[in-house]
Each structure stands twice: as C-alpha cells, then as structure tokens.
Structure 1
Amino acid sequence: MALEVLNEEVKSSLSESNFCDNSSTEEKEPPLKSYLILTIFTCFCPAYPVNVVALVFSIMSRHSYYNGDYDGSRRLGKNALYVAIASIIIGLLIITIICTVHFTTMNHLV
C-alpha cells in the first residue's frame, strides 16, 4: 500500500516538473534572410552606387543576425532586398537605353 502511494507521488512530481520542457523557455532563432546571393548578383548590373549599397545592407544584416539582433537583421535584410530590386530595375533601364541609342544611331552599310 505504501509503495502504491509512493509510485503515484513520483509519477505526479515527474509529470509536473519542467525538467524536460525547455522548448517553451528557449527563443528559437528566425531564419537568416540577408539576400546575399541576390545582392552579389546585382553587382553585375551597371548601377554601381546602388548595388554596392544593397551589398552593404546585406552584410550588415548578417552581422546583426550573428550578434543576436534578429529584428535589426530582418529590417536590414528587407532594405537589402528593396535596394537590390531597385538596382536590377535601374540596370535594366540603363541597358535598354544604351541598346536603343546604339541601334538607332548606327550607320547602315549600303
């Protein structure tokens, strides 16, 4: 009889303990979104001051993430994405203008 009471007390104390339940107290790291590959790709676009700024934002985002500033990393990652997209659009516009000017002013051989 005393053994049954002891077993129930041990079972209840083990089920109520937080010894194994560390998942609720630990903060999970969000995924890193620094868009580094995209910003490296934009370095090949002919909008040089803009794409360098995107690369700097991306590197700053990674640095903030590894220092534990996840909100700052997310904010800088979004800035890197927006500046990289602007760099791609500006680069495509420059390429289009250069090609248009080149092919419209070209002397045709007769």
Structure 2
Amino acid sequence: MALSVLRSQEKSSLSGSTFFDRVCVEEQEPPPPLRSYLYWAMFACFCPAYPVNIVALVFSVMSRNSYYQGDYDGSRRLGRNALRVAVASIIIGLLVIAISCIVHLTTMEY
C-alpha cells in the first residue's frame, strides 16, 4: 500500500532518474496556537458590567470560529479585541463594586 502511494508521487526527469514531488513530501507548518481568551471573557461575565462583558464573550467565540475556519490572522485580531474588552469589563466591574461599597459605607448610620 505504502509503495503504491510513493510510486504515484514519483516523477521521472528527462535523464530517467526519479524524484518525489516536493509539495507532497514537505511537511506543512502547524497553525499558530489558538488565543481566543475565552476564559478571561467568561470570568468577565461575573463582573457587573453586562453590556461590555457580553461583547468580550462574542469576540472570543468569533475568534475561535475564525481559527477553526483557517483564518489565523482574523482569529488573532479578534482574540486581542476579546482580551482588551474583557480587561476593560473587569476594571469597570471592580470600579462599580468599589463605588457601591463606598456609597454604602458612607451612608450607614451608627
């Protein structure tokens, strides 16, 4: 079986010697690693900045879809956007929590 596959890839030159088709024999480059930052986007969904963290989750899912379709540059770009929006969502959420705690603690009566 393997011999017949190799012979089908063989080509003969004008001098009669044979050589393999380089396209079939060469190893293809592996795709770059997936960086969709899905975990950061899911973690950001627990912060109280709901419109922003949903956008991060959508960017992350779009990044995964682009990666599996073979669009590695688009996947990288969408992954970076997902990370930026997730970090912004976490910062906004922490600010909302801090402001609500400060307002609650300053208005308490003893």
Q: Over aligned residue pairs, what C-alpha RMSD do you find?
A: 1.8
Q: Any unmatched runs of 5+ in structure 2?
A: 1-16
4+ long deviations beyond 6 Å: none
Partner SS for 1:29? coil
Amino acid paired to 1:86: A
Structure 2 counterparts to residues 58-77 of structure 1, below 5 A: 58-77=60-79
CA distance, structure 2, for counterparts of residue 22 and residue 55 of structure 1: 38
TM-score (norm 1): 0.78
Structure 2 counterparts to residues 1-110 of structure 1, below 5 A: 18=22, 21-23=25-27, 26-108=28-110
Q: Higher strand share goes to which structure?
A: 2
Deviation per CA, 1:38-82: give whole Å up to 9, x if none.
100100000000000000000000000000000000000000000
Q: Any unmatched runs of 5+ in structure 1?
A: 1-12
CA distance, structure 2, for counterparts of residue 79 and residue 38 of structure 1: 12
Q: How many residues align?
A: 93
TM-score (norm 2): 0.78
CA distance, structure 2, for counterparts of residue 67 and residue 19 of structure 1: 22
Q: Which residue is 2:7 aligned to? A: none
